[in-house]
Amino acid sequence: MRIILLGPPGSGKGTQGGLIEKKYGFPRISTGDLFRRAVKKRTPLGKKVESVMNRGELVSDDIVIEVVRERIEMRDCKKGYVLDGFPRNIAQVHALKKIKPEQSEMILDIVLDDEAVIERLSARRVCSACGKPYNLLLGNSKEKDECDLCKGKLVSREDDRPDIIKERLRVYHEETEPLVDFYQREGIYHEVDGNGPVSQVFESISGILDKQLKQVSEITEALS
Ligand SMILES: [Zn+2]
């Protein structure tokens, strides 16, 4: 089972992917994490990725696909895995279809409108001294501008600035939304309401996943 998480920045894909991993044992694969690891390990791929990122460019489809293929072919992905941040465009969708084509796919699209995304992301802060993350909407700092742990100053991340959020959303709509049409036609698309608390969103996701896994196991049984 290949589970693909879609959703704009700030929709909580990473958090939900982590919860799926915990409950179902399917590893969460984030392309961002894979890149950071490759860079840190100084693998040939890591060096390529690093030079691209240092130039402020996006990593090319070919490189992304190679990194994902390597990860998917590892043993812990045999039963299933969750993709977070991949595929991002139609070219990547088709490339992914060629990797382990025998695996069944399902799409979970965490839907959140632009206004809610901007509200959520612009409320994010990080401690400038110790790096602890905060969200003013969740009220998880006692002082609005001070870190609870070290009294450091809370600041916005560079890519959470309103103009940059808008640009990230524009790119998301342009590149990723065509995927929705594609997967809908394949009949493997599921929409999840991304509003509301993390636990509520995960409840919707679990409901869809449980149903899907039951179907898959029935089919496997019928075939054996
Ligand atoms: Zn701090």
pLDDT at residue 161 tops 80: yes
The total of other beta-carbon atoms located within 10 Å of residue 205's CB is 21
**Cβ atoms of residues 16 and 5 within 8 Å:** yes
**Å from CA of 122 to ligand 1 middle:** 19
pLDDT at residue 208 tops 90: yes
**Å from CA of 140 to ligand 1 middle:** 13
**Cβ atoms of residues 204 and 108 within 8 Å:** no
Which CATH code fits 2-112+166-223? 3.40.50.300
Give yes or no for a cis peptide into 87 (omega within 30° of 0). yes
Query: What are the start-end ranges of the H helices in the chain?
Result: 13-24, 31-41, 44-54, 61-72, 90-98, 114-122, 162-186, 198-223
Q: Where are the domains of the chain?
A: 2-112+166-223
**Å from CA of 36 to ligand 1 middle:** 23
* Range of weakest confidence among 48-62, 148-162, 182-196: 48-62
pLDDT at residue 143 tops 80: no
Q: What is the pTM of this model?
A: 0.86
**Å from CA of 207 to ligand 1 middle:** 38
Section 63-82 average pLDDT:
92
Section 3-21 average pLDDT:
93
**Å from CA of 68 to ligand 1 middle:** 34
pLDDT at residue 142 tops 80: no
pLDDT for position 73:
92
Of residues 140 and 189, more confidently modeled: 189
pLDDT at residue 27 tops 80: yes
pLDDT at residue 160 tops 90: no
**Å from CA of 155 to ligand 1 middle:** 11
Q: How many angstroms separate the CA atoms of 223 and 2, rounded?
A: 20
**Å from CA of 179 to ligand 1 middle:** 40
Section 90-98 average pLDDT:
94
Band of residue 10 on the pLDDT scale cut at 50, 70, 90: confident
* Range of weakest confidence among 153-157, 190-194, 200-204: 153-157
pLDDT at residue 94 tops 90: yes
**Cβ atoms of residues 65 and 92 within 8 Å:** yes
pLDDT for position 84:
94
Catalytic center residues:
13, 88, 124, 157, 168
pLDDT at residue 205 tops 90: yes
Q: How many residues does the chain have?
A: 224
First and final CA of the chain: distance in angstroms?
18
Q: What is the DSSP string of 100-153?
A: STTS-EEEEEEE--HHHHHHHHHTEEEETTT--EEETTTT--SSTTB-TTT-PB
pLDDT for position 130:
93
Section 167-180 average pLDDT:
90
Section 107-134 average pLDDT:
92
CA distances for 77 relative to 58, 74, 83, 190, 211, angstroms: 26, 6, 11, 22, 21
124-127 vs 154-155, strand pairing mode: antiparallel
**Contact residues for 15 (Cβ-Cβ < 8 A; gap 6+):** 198
Section 104-118 average pLDDT:
94
